[in-house]
């Protein structure tokens, strides 16, 4: 029975494991239900429920603040919102939120004119469910059939169904256990998809013939290398089915004509450890994006007759980080970053020297290609935003090189960008590396006050200088908001990522701590006035920095934190573990990797010291960061910390990695996070 009058104390059942002659004791290993992914163990569930009761009791005094923040955040959202329609074949497609609606409705209408057709009704599909999420949506080439996948518990094991838009009925074809990719092939008679195995790894790609029993679906690819994930793709010209497979550092691509999805797959180039590549097609030529010759990638071409013979089209560059490309009939587009800022360039097949960069108006921004589904495009859909510029949808007219505004994110409660200032700082880390920091604050803010610091720092994922409506619930209360572009992300190129992974992992944690100290030294804030947050691998970051420098922080929020790094990397039965070894190291095979992960893993390195107030979240159905990681971490923190600061664990019992589904249910959790931080920093407004 849950007791909301005192913090839960987890029982200790020591489990000793030995690796490479070293022993590690885990007192809280029992919090992993042996029946996972089913969680039915009464002792485990009782403990999680007790933590949730403690969370509710402690946050109860903040209910009015949470509700006020939720209303404030909701007032910044246009409730009856819609996307800009985009043409694909004979139809224009868009989605809408109704006022008060948690989920999108998907519509289309004929380009030639006619009535709008509602083809997917999110609110209706989600009715009565605690959790609901769309996965992929794939319209058949004829436009008649629409395949879509849904997840109803947060486990990311999707169910695929197919709608016949002519009859309005669902076809009997129902495919379960799908995790990636829905591709129509063979004149809409075959649906290609990736299926997750028991460990939630997509190691097989299947072809389903419409009208047949899914149990008889044909396996067209089986990935045998542990840790590799396979997924089907469609070439830009829609002539080829592409099967891509790989992990965090190695790729391999195969292809077959889209009309013959069960035919023999041809190889582009065999995998080579450390070489990543992606491929697309135009006529009898392949275009290949790869890091085989330069860490910042190059773009190469190859003849269809000899796809492994690559010739450089755009050489790799120390300055320009090539992050991807898109092919169209008459031109192609490359995306990348220069000095950490997004770049989009239009280039031409018949004139390699002709380069047309798309120029944006601000010095700090985030921009990228949007949905551009057709092969014969003459206008590109582009998304743009900055820390003080709401999300903007542009159409870029390629021939005239003009940007046309199609939509600007509306803030119903009002937004005046002139009240704010954005700075790009560089703060020196302890090894002399300069770490970029994006700082947003009101122009009338007093220096030295509270500041929120955010980062991610893993997998080469950059944190762009983008717009966030919820951020202003901090900033309008006199807080500054800082994004630390730390190593481990690829904000400044591929080397920036490599400098924060494997043996260099500590750079990520040190960068964050050094940025916090640098912001203090510059007078932007003070020790104990800094709140910080991060999720997943960013939650691991939170765990590491509070072990290193807890005195800097006045409040910490760690969402679904990856804090039990060593035990997770030692367990190859877990969903992501084998594919994660290139990112973190393999402590099963390597004593060096074992010792290194042990030296920083947040769970093992909790010590008897004072820790800042903390809010930790988990998802019972999370396949990425399993629920027991945050649960074990909180239990160990409760045991060892020497302070009386608040420590809360909230487990979503019917959700996964992303928390609650639905735009307003998710917003309520954000309001809880902000309320917790304001409470702990002593901000009353």
Taking only the tens place, the pLDDT of each residue in 31-47 is 999 999 899 999 999 99
Q: What is the pLDDT of residue 191?
A: 98
Residue 428 Cα to chain centre, angstroms: 28
To the nearest whole number, what is the mean pLDDT of the chain? Answer: 95
Backbone angles phi, psi at 132, to 5 degrees: -155, 135
H or E segment and range at residue 518 = helix 506-521
Whether the pTM exceeds 0.85: the reply is yes
Q: What is the pLDDT of residue 1?
A: 43
In the predicted structure, residue 363 carries a pLDDT above the cut 90: no
Mean pLDDT of 563-592: 94
Q: What is the pLDDT of residue 72?
A: 97
Percent of residues, the chain, with pLDDT higher than 90: 92
Catalytic residue among 466, 536, 601, 661: 536
Mean pLDDT of 398-424: 97
Which of 237-241, 359-363, 563-567 bottoms out in mean pLDDT, i.e. has the lowest?
359-363
> In angstroms, rounded to a whole number, what is the distance separating the alpha carbons of residues 74 and 66?
12
In the predicted structure, residue 53 carries a pLDDT above the cut 80: yes
Q: What is the pLDDT of residue 181?
A: 87
Residues 6+ apart with CB under 8 A from 553: 516, 528, 530, 531, 532, 545, 546, 612
Mean pLDDT of 364-381: 96
Beta strands at 169-185 and 218-222: parallel, antiparallel or unpaired: unpaired
| Selected residue with higher pLDDT from 2 and 382 | 382
> In angstroms, rounded to a whole number, what is the distance separating the alpha carbons of residues 32 and 292?
41
**pLDDT confidence band for 558 (50 / 70 / 90):** very high
Distance, first Cα to last Cα, the chain: 36
In the predicted structure, residue 3 carries a pLDDT above the cut 70: no
Which of 94-103, 142-151, 195-204, 525-534 bottoms out in mean pLDDT, i.e. has the lowest?
195-204
Q: Which of 391, 542, 572, 520 is nearest to 465 (CA)?
A: 391
**pLDDT confidence band for 2 (50 / 70 / 90):** low
Question: Is residue 192 within 8 Å of 214, Cβ to Cβ?
Answer: no
Q: What is the pLDDT of residue 333?
A: 98
Q: What is the pLDDT of residue 224?
A: 94
Strand partners, 196: 202
> In angstroms, rounded to a whole number, what is the distance separating the alpha carbons of residues 532 and 261?
48
Q: What is the pLDDT of residue 48?
A: 97
Active site residue 231: no
Q: What is the pLDDT of residue 660?
A: 72
Q: Is 418 helix (H, G, I), strand (E, B) or coil?
A: helix
Q: What is the pLDDT of residue 554?
A: 98
Give the single-character DSSP code of 364.
Answer: S
Q: Which of 510, 451, 466 is nearest to 486 (CA)?
A: 510
Catalytic residue among 248, 485, 524, 657: 657
In the predicted structure, residue 384 carries a pLDDT above the cut 50: yes
Q: What is the pLDDT of residue 657?
A: 72
Q: Greatest CA span in the chain, whole angstroms?
A: 73
Taking only the tens place, the pLDDT of each residue in 205-227 is: 999 999 999 999 999 999 999 99
In the predicted structure, residue 555 carries a pLDDT above the cut 90: yes
Active site residue 622: yes
Active site residue 536: yes
Strand partners, 407: 393
In the predicted structure, residue 240 carries a pLDDT above the cut 60: yes
Catalytic residue among 26, 247, 564, 622: 622
Q: What is the pLDDT of residue 461?
A: 95
Backbone angles phi, psi at 451, to 5 degrees: -145, 140
> In angstroms, rounded to a whole number, what is the distance separating the alpha carbons of residues 108 and 121?
12
Give the single-character DSSP code of 340.
Answer: T
| Selected residue with higher pLDDT from 256 and 157 | 256
Q: What is the pLDDT of residue 258?
A: 98
Mean pLDDT of 369-392: 97
């Amino acid at each position: 029975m849950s007791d909301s009058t005192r913090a839960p104390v987890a029982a200790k059942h020591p489990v000793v494991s030995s690796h490479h002659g070293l022993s590690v004791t885990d007192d809280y290993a029992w919090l992993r239900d042996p029946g996972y992914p089913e969680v039915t163990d009464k002792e485990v569930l009782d403990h999680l429920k007790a933590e949730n009761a403690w969370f509710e009791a402690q946050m109860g005094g903040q209910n009015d603040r949470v509700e006020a923040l939720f209303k404030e955040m909701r007032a910044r959202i246009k409730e009856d919102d819609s996307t800009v329609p985009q043409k694909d074949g004979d139809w224009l497609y868009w989605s809408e939120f109704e006022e008060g609606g948690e989920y999108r409705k998907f519509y289309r209408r004929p380009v030639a004119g006619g009535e709008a057709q509602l083809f997917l009704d999110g609110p209706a599909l989600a009715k009565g469910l605690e959790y609901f999420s769309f996965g992929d949506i794939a319209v058949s080439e004829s436009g008649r059939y629409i395949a879509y996948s849904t997840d109803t518990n947060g486990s990311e094991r999707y169910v695929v169904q197919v709608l016949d838009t002519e009859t309005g009925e669902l076809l009997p074809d129902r495919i379960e256990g799908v995790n990636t990719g829905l591709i129509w092939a063979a004149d809409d008679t075959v649906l290609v998809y990736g299926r997750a195995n028991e460990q939630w790894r997509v190691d097989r790609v299947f072809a389903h013939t419409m009208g047949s029993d899914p149990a008889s679906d044909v396996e067209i690819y089986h990935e045998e290398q542990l840790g590799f994930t396979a997924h089907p793709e469609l070439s830009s010209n829609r002539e080829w089915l592409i099967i891509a497979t790989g992990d965090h550092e190695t790729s391999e691509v195969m292809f077959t004509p889209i009309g013959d999805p069960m035919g023999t797959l041809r190889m582009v180039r065999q995998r080579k450890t450390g070489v990543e590549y992606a491929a697309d097609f135009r006529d009898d030529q392949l275009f290949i994006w790869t890091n085989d010759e330069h860490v910042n990638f190059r773009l190469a071409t190859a003849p269809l007759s000899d796809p492994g013979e690559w010739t450089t089209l755009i050489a790799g560059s120390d300055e320009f980080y090539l992050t991807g490309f898109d092919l169209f009939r008459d031109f192609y587009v490359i995306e990348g970053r220069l000095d950490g800022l997004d770049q989009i360039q239009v280039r031409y097949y018949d004139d390699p020297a002709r380069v047309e960069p798309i120029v944006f108006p601000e010095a700090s921004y985030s921009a990228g290609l949007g949905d551009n589904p057709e092969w014969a495009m003459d206008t590109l859909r582009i998304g743009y935003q900055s820390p003080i510029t709401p999300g903007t949808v542009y159409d870029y007219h390629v021939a005239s090189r003009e940007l046309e505004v199609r939509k600007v994110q509306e803030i119903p409660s009002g937004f005046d960008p002139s009240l704010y200032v954005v700075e790009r700082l560089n703060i020196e880390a302890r090894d002399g590396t300069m770490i970029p920091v994006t700082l947003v604050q009101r122009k009338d803010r007093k220096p030295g006050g509270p500041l929120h610091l955010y980062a991610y720092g893993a997998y080469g994922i950059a944190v762009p200088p983008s717009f966030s409506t919820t951020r202003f619930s901090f900033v309008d209360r006199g807080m500054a908001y800082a994004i630390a572009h730390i190593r481990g992300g690829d904000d400044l190129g591929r080397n920036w990522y490599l400098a924060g992974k494997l043996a260099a992992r500590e750079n990520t944690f040190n960068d964050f701590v050094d940025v916090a100290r640098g912001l203090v030294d510059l007078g932007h804030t003070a020790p104990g006035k800094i709140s910080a947050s991060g999720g997943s691998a960013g939650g691991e970051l939170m765990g590491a920095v509070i072990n290193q420098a807890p005195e800097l922080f006045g409040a910490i929020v760690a969402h679904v934190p990856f804090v039990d790094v060593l035990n997770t990397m030692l367990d190859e039965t877990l969903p992501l573990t084998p594919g994660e070894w290139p990112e973190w190291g393999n402590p099963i095979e390597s004593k060096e990797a074992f010792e290194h992960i042990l030296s920083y893993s947040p769970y093992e390195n909790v010590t008897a010291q004072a820790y800042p107030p903390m809010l930790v979240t988990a998802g019972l159905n999370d396949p990425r960061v399993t629920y027991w990681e945050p649960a074990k971490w909180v239990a160990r923190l409760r045991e060892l910390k020497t302070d009386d600061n608040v420590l809360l664990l909230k487990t979503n019992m019917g959700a996964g990695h992303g928390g609650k589904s639905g735009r307003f249910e998710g917003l309520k959790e954000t309001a809880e996070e902000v309320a917790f931080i304001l409470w702990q920093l002593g901000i009353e407004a």
